[in-house]
Structure 1
Amino acid sequence: MIIDSLRRYTKPVFVYLPPNSQLRGGAWVVVDPAINPDFMEMYADPISSRAGVLEPEGTVEIKYRQKDLIDTINRLDDSCKLLLKELNHLNEHTNNLSMNNDQQYSTKLLNISIEEHRQQLRTALESRQQELLPFYQQVSCCFFF
């Protein structure tokens, strides 16, 4: 409704952004001079004012994606580091077993229990990551702004 009124408005409209101000997201849409270029003008401090700025959550979502958050969780959280270490050890152990064809093990039974353990570790890791993800998203907004 405001945008429609501004589009038909025939008097001059001046938008001024003082120094160190920001015009974010939805507010930008309402006062964008492109709505009525013949009558709307925008003025802002060229050094310290910013317009058309995304909210912190939007910027973080673009610059610091979920994959990056998961990588950060894996790097910083002790539980995730331990689970990843166990998974890597299990993978190395499985590779060593497959290389030793001389020894006669019941590798089929052993592989099943290893695969079950691997799946349990993956499930625990994903559960921990999902538990921590909201906190890391919230903190990332603070550090980007």
Structure 2
Amino acid sequence: MEQQNSVWDIDAVGAFARRLLAADRSQAAELINSGLRGATEPGDTVDAGEAGNGIGAVAVIAADVYPQVLDGAPDTDQLRAKLQDMDTELTPARRVAGQAVLARVSLPQGNEWLDGLADEQRQAALAAVDALAGLVAAD
């Protein structure tokens, strides 16, 4: 069976996970919250940092209901342990915010992150984002 693309294979998302692991509890909470806001704040473009933070934040909150989303993350066991003691509940409001983030990072207009990826990387990244979006949209 072929392994499905993971959002953690996206360099900017892996960088988000490493920052989350290095952060204390309040900093980690702010990383997640700002990730859910950053890619959808008014502005003309989405850069790699905003995309990675947004996708990573959505993956973290999706893991509340779908723990397998964390499979493949940097230091997966350490990340799971850190998130156990944090408020990462996939609430209806966070579900909507997550859907907005994933929709925005998937749009090619004004998307420096997508523009910076080679075609094969872009296809893999968008497939991983689409799979995550399917989970976040599920009831």
> If you compute each CA radius of gyration, which structure gives the higher value, 1 or 2?
1
TM-score relative to the length of structure 1: 0.25
Greater strand fraction, Structure 1 or Structure 2? 1
TM-score relative to the length of structure 2: 0.26
